[in-house]
Chain A
Amino acid sequence: MSNLTVDIPRPPLNGFTLPLMAVFAGCFGFVVGNVFAQPLIGFLIGAVVGAGVALLAHNLPRSRRNVRLGLIAIFGLIGLILVGPGAMVAGLLIGAVLSWAAYWLDSGAYRSRVPIYYTAGQTLWHNSFLFICGLVFFFLIAPLLPVMWLSFNAQNFFTFTPEMLNFQAEGYSLKHYRDFLGTEEWMVPLKNSLIIAPFATFISVSLGTLAAIGLSQSHVPGRQAIMAILISPMIVPLIISATGMFFFYAPLGNWLEATLGLNRSFVGYLKVILAHAALGVPFVIITVTATLVGFDKSLTRASANMGADPVTTFFRVQMPLILPGVISGGLFAFITSFDEVVVVLFVGSAQQQTLPWQMFTGLREQISPTILAAATILVTVSICLLTTVELLRRRSERLRGLSPG
């Protein structure tokens, strides 16, 4: 697709960019005007400003960067002068959005991702669709932003202090990070979680994938019943599972310690791992079976025809194809364990205290932004991990000479 660049004609200024920008900026003007209880005047000023921006963009297509920076600065300045530092941030944002929109419309970039034959309506739909998706992504991410922000709170509450809102240094502190990284109270649970979750995931993914493949065969007696049994750990209310499982694991633990002479802390981990593995099973089953629906069975036959034994067929043919399902199932299983608090409260003992458990007591007994610091660190680490994985994938793609997919 990238090799085949088609020259997109620049749309007309008067019939397209100018009015659209006027309406767009007018909407911003309406909102800003509303702050001063003058929405209509705001709209009009906005429309004029929008038209101006459109003119600028149209006449200076080459110096895009300078124009945009200039506009952003001007808008920020207006915000700062009119209201204060908070409004400056808003001004900078509005400037960035408006100038971007003007160039996006004016250069015809809005059509760059749709086939050349699309009508105006289709293009509009395509771009609104992207906008909707953007909103959903925003919905997903938005709650994390205050979490990260509040984790630097100098106070022990989940409250934005005036100092924080005015970006004063005394409103911020790293003490919650010190609490998290520097105390046994948090490091031990983190370690426990990192031991328990991967093992539990491994058990549920390996057993679950096998069972899902078995279930997808054409002749399985009592499939409905088996299916109901396998997904039951998800259906039963957690609190009931927790008490029920306690009655199984407590005597089992006794027996393992007394009869087999196993180490007490090992048994403790084992109990939680097995309990979490059972909870993770339904996720693996559901996602893998859903993926197997689309699986073309003739592929395994073809592979068998060509002399592959079943193990090879499984790992070389079937597995790569159902991998997305297995991975998302595994991810669910991992998160189930990593984020599970009810069952571990019952099945685990104090030595197996996990991160969610510690957070749970933290939230209940003494609200402290330490749990926000913990969350922020986890998010940062996971961004790094996921990015590294993605970069490695791209690198190997390049090395293998594949075109970027």
Chain B
Amino acid sequence: MSNVTDATTGAGEPMPGDNGTRTAKTENGPVMAADGRPLKQTLRRTLRREKMRALLLIAPLLIFVVVTFIVPILSMLFRSVENDIVQNTMPETVQALRAWDEQGTEPPGDEVFVPLYFDLFKASEAKEHTKLGSRLNYEQPGLSSMFRGTGRDLDDMGEEFQDVFEEIDPAFETAAFWHELLSGAGGEALLKERRDLYEALTGEEMRGDVGFTPSTEMAEMLPWTTKAYTDFAIWTAIEEEDVVAEEEPWEAVYAALGQDLRSPDTVAAIEAYSGPWSTTLKAAAENRDQLPQDSFREMFVASDKDWGSLEAWRTISLYSPPVTAGYFLNSVDLTKTVDGIAARPETQQIYLTLFQRTLIMSLIITGSCILLGYPVAWLLANLPLRTANVLMILVLLPFWTSLLVRTSAWKVLLQQQGIINEILVWLGFVDDANRLILMNNATGTVIAMTHILLPFMILPLYSVMKTVPPSYLRAAKSLGATNWTAFWRVYFPQSVPGIGAGSILVFILSIGYYITPEIVGGTSGVFISNRIAYHISSSLNWGLAAALGSILLIVVLALYWCYDRIVGIDNVKLGG
């Protein structure tokens, strides 16, 4: 509470003749205020002081809301465009994919599949590849199991190389061979680059001594092998906290050597090489025809045939940039294709319908709340206080019953075997076979939501009507106005702020509700929020949920702005 004192006293110096000076403003010459300073200056100072005082009053709440609400929500909504998971999980594949023509008719070849293998191997060690699969599965079904299944086969693919190498020379089995062969000087830049890629992949810090520095010479001669071994070294040293020089490398390192040996340049370079372990290397190069000859693409397709499908690659390519409009397009029933933006198939269009329905039904609910709430608020405001207070208890009572209970109560009342139908059947107004369908459709939602939100309309209306002096109405009537004219021309305009405040409360609340529509709305009475909740809590498609939420937010703000333009927010004093 100390803020009250600070804020008000801080700005609360006496304001001698504040009003007087203001009215004394004339058009000629500098007018002096009572204290002898130019009036303009005094006025500006007073204005500044007033502004300061207002801001001081607002500041504590504003800071509280911005820090604890706005910032977290904005970062949540940012997920609607965020898409760096593809780039982070398979950085080199994404780079290689840029050269691929997504409009073409052929899926990419080994120039993409080779980096894909090493990216995925690394990702599967860090258990990140299935996340990417789930992400891409939102865009095309089947990708999730493609990534999960192939993730299990990656080791086997490498082992095929490993077995051959180890047969050629048992030295390939030793940890020392790899460490000594690839260690050297000048590879700090490469080490740092690989480390950064890991940090992007796992989102964690990868600091600490690796116990291995790649040699530049090897990085030129055996580029894939050096990269793969560096990746292995970083992971082993930092995540698994083992000594790199003592560990046998990943299967991927053997595959990388196999891939290097497929290049004639590398073979030539090995022949010319005379450093440590040159005999072992040369033996491998000579016997390279014993190595698996399948291309990486063939190995991937053997693991899951979808890797060879054009569709899968188009999806990967379309969603490879770190920022995407895909979620927003999805939330307005559009989709990204290689030929640009297209409408979703009709069988999958749902969100526009839901947005429209949410808005229309919220308007209906708001309307019925005004209709039911206005007379009651008027009655409460005009009755003697003691009667009004007793009646007020009736308005407040539903509030004390949980929303869930009230919704369940409506279920008991509205369903086909429910109380209302039973009574109507008993009274003979409704045929037993044709009971009214009052819930599991839009009617149910409107009735239950109107009931739940009605107090939110009555209370603001009441507190505004309370400030309208009843003498105005009497004066109007005594001046000859009819009841209607007196009400419409005198009373109603003064109650508009209450309608405004109540409507905004009810409308916005109804847009965001999802529990009640879920329970009584059936299929035709559910709102967009129900889908948002589904995507947050069941499908985990938070990007789409955030996009839907952002659109909803924008729509509400736009409506608010229109309201301001048409009705005039001055009538509500929410911000004009």
Contacts and interface: CB of A to CB of B under 8 A. Distances in A.
Interface in A12-65: 31, 34-37
Given A239-B529, A244-B72, A291 B405 contact: no
Interface in B1-46: 1, 3-5, 7-9, 11-12, 14-15, 19
A328 interface: yes
B573 A378 contact: no
B394 interface: yes
B73 A241 contact: yes
A225 to B, nearest CB: 8
B272 interface: no
A210 B403 contact: no
B404 A341 contact: yes
A232 B73 contact: yes
A329 to B, nearest CB: 9
A232 B504 CA distance: 12
B58 interface: yes
B408 A158 contact: yes
A346 to B, nearest CB: 9
A360 B404 contact: yes
Interface in A219-254: 219-221, 223-224, 226-245, 247-249
A405 B385 contact: yes
B386 interface: yes
A215 B427 contact: no
A139 B549 contact: no
B553 A235 contact: yes
A328 B465 CA distance: 13
B398 interface: yes
A285 to B, nearest CB: 8
B386 A405 contact: yes
A218 B572 CA distance: 15
Interface in A262-319: 274-275, 277-278, 281, 283, 286-287, 289-295, 301, 304, 309-311, 314
Contacts of B504: 286
B552 to A, nearest CB: 6
Nearest to B399: A335
A386 B396 CA distance: 9
Nearest to A381: B400
Contact of A341 (B65, B375, B467, B515): B515
Tell me what chain B mostly uses at the interface: helix, strand, loop, or mixed: helix
A216 interface: yes
B501 A287 contact: yes
A207 B395 CA distance: 26
B57 A378 contact: no
Given A34-B429, A210-B60, A236-B553, 4 more contacts: A133-B375, A230-B65, A236-B73, A382-B400
Interface of B: 1, 3-5, 7-9, 11-12, 14-15, 19, 47, 50-51, 53-58, 60-62, 64-73, 75-77, 372-373, 375-376, 379, 384-386, 389-406, 408-413, 419, 426-429, 451, 454-456, 459-460, 462-464, 466-468, 483, 494, 497-498, 500-501, 504-505, 508-509, 511-512, 514-515, 529, 532-533, 536-537, 542, 545-546, 549, 552-553, 556-557, 560, 572-576
22 contacts: A144-B401, A146-B412, A215-B58, A216-B573, A219-B54, A228-B557, A235-B511, A239-B537, A241-B69, A245-B73, A247-B75, A277-B64, A290-B463, A290-B464, A290-B572, A290-B574, A310-B12, A324-B463, A328-B460, A331-B396, A339-B399, A405-B385
Q: Which 9 A-B pairs have the closest CB atoms?
A: A214-B57, A227-B575, A244-B76, A294-B467, A310-B12, A310-B8, A248-B72, A290-B501, A405-B385
